[in-house]
Chain A
Amino acid sequence: MRRVVIVGASLAGLRTAQALRAEGFRGTLTLVGDEPHLPYDRPPLSKRHLTGAARPEDADLPIPPDLDATWLLGTPAKALDPVGRTVRLADGRELDYDGLVIATGAAARTHPADHVPDGVLTLRGRDDAAALRTRLRTGRRIVVVGGGYLGSEIAGAARGRGLDVTLVVSTAQPLARLVADEVGAYVAELHRAAGIALVTRRTALGFTGNPALTGVVLSDGDTVDADLAVLALGAEPNTGWLAGSGVPVAGGVACDPCLRVLHESGAPLPNVVAAGDIARWPHPLADGAPIALGHWSNAAEQAAAAARTLLHHDDARPFTVVPSFWSDLHGSTLRAVGLPAHSDERRVVRYDVFGRRLEVTYHRAGRLVGAVTVGGPGRIGAYRRILTDELLRAA
């Protein structure tokens, strides 16, 4: 293999490049990015960056001086021809490859409303974060829409900066789809204690104000006054450039257990792997069901595995790392391991809002599949070890 092209210049792309070099790859390495920026970390964008504790450049990811890669930035990929083994870029350039890494990540889901006034934002990239941070300085009333981690983090950061905050979630509790009602109730208590108005079981239908936002219209017909709104409605995998390539893209790029990208025939494409938010692969903790995870640690760990599969095609190993994730909320860190969303039973070990301690385990058919804690990093490490041992035994 002489030429490797990595489409996607964020954490997964960079770490795949690093892993290829660490595994001894000496050929040419080209990274293609749609943003003009070199790789940066996303987790701080909804955390320290919004609270003002960090500057945008603090998020820059260190690039090893000996990486010896060509960066094509601000030039998104437009098409893949897996037969001719070329990637076409928006500027018309064609890149030939012997090995391809698909790591184009995901984009913030947008709102379907016809009228979206000035002051309605999403948060995904560094430029989004800069815009939101500026708005948080002058905004007074913010509505955050979204029941995921991002919505809760933005709501918490905005409240910390003194804004009137309303958080709108479609479920009975925030985070309910990810970590179920038990942890959702805990987070709801944190939000309410911080003075956030929590609106549950409702969505945002539309917006008032022209040209500037004056309010968010909810699904029950009420309007919440606001001069700023952030939509945290989840992410859509960036698969548009794969149209016509024969790669199935529903919910992400379909991969085999070793992260080889599958053709629509069901066979893995020769020398094409995927890593990061865009990869959808069967995980043993989900009983082999395909999952996609938009987590920092997933991107970093998957990159190393994808690089290995690309270089050692005939000796590839399934990627079975136990997922891990964290979220900063009101000065506490919530930590998750495993697949809490794939559980049918929860056991609350500890629930102490005042003492900022929480410990919940997740089970499916009686078997441990995940855990969530607040406080006590040692406990989450112990749960991850149990889950890892369980997977090793099953392998």
Chain B
Amino acid sequence: MRVTVDMTVCESHGQCVFAAPDVFAFDDEDRLIYEPAPPAALARHVRTGALMCPARAVTIAEDGA
């Protein structure tokens, strides 16, 4: 799974951080940082994070897709 966040669209709602805190986080300056290739075990949380983004900034590409 590959994760991309369009930072021109992100509004820092933090819903992805709520859903998948091991993949998404805010750094000390409140910028969103994330793991672009999260382990498969976290895939469900990452998908929830993408679905819960009100700005629709999170895109997921499944492996092999």
Residues of B within 8 A of A296 (CB): 54
Residues of B within 8 A of A300 (CB): 51-52
With the chains together, A380 CA to B17 CA distance in Å?
10
Assess whether B30 is in contact with A377, with CB atoms less than 8 Å apart: yes
Assess whether B54 is in contact with A381, with CB atoms less than 8 Å apart: no
Assess whether B14 is in contact with A335, with CB atoms less than 8 Å apart: yes
Q: How many residues of B contact A (CB 8 A)?
A: 18
| A384 proximal to B (CB < 8 A) | yes
Partner of A377 from the list B14, B28, B48, B52 (CB cut-off 8 Å) is: B14
Residues of A within 8 A of B21 (CB): 381, 385
Assess whether B52 is in contact with A380, with CB atoms less than 8 Å apart: no
Interface size bracket, A side? 20 to 34
With the chains together, A15 CA to B26 CA distance in Å?
27
- Chain A contact surface mostly: helix
- With A62-B56, A376-B30 as contacts: A333 and B11 at CB distance below 8 Å: yes
Give the Cβ gap from A272 to chain B, nearest Cβ, in Å: 24
Partner of A378 from the list B11, B26, B54 (CB cut-off 8 Å) is: B26
Select the residue from B27, B28, B51 with max chain A CB neighbours within 10 A: B51
Q: Kindly identify, within residues 34 to 58 of chain B, every residue whose CB is under 8 Å from any CB belonging to chain A.
A: 48, 51-52, 54, 56
Assess whether A381 is in contact with B26, with CB atoms less than 8 Å apart: yes
With the chains together, A296 CA to B51 CA distance in Å?
12
With the chains together, A97 CA to B37 CA distance in Å?
42
Nearest A-chain residue to B51, judged by Cβ: A300
With the chains together, A385 CA to B25 CA distance in Å?
12
| A41 proximal to B (CB < 8 A) | yes
Residues of B within 8 A of A333 (CB): 11-12
Q: Kindly identify, within residues 354 to 395 of chain A, every residue whose CB is under 8 Å from any CB belonging to chain B.
A: 375-378, 380-381, 384-385
- With A300-B51, A385-B21 as contacts: A380 and B14 at CB distance below 8 Å: yes
Q: Kindly identify, within residues 319 to 333 of chain A, every residue whose CB is under 8 Å from any CB belonging to chain B.
A: 324, 326, 333
Minimum-distance CB pairs A-B, first 10: A378-B26, A377-B12, A381-B14, A377-B14, A381-B17, A378-B30, A377-B30, A376-B30, A377-B26, A296-B54
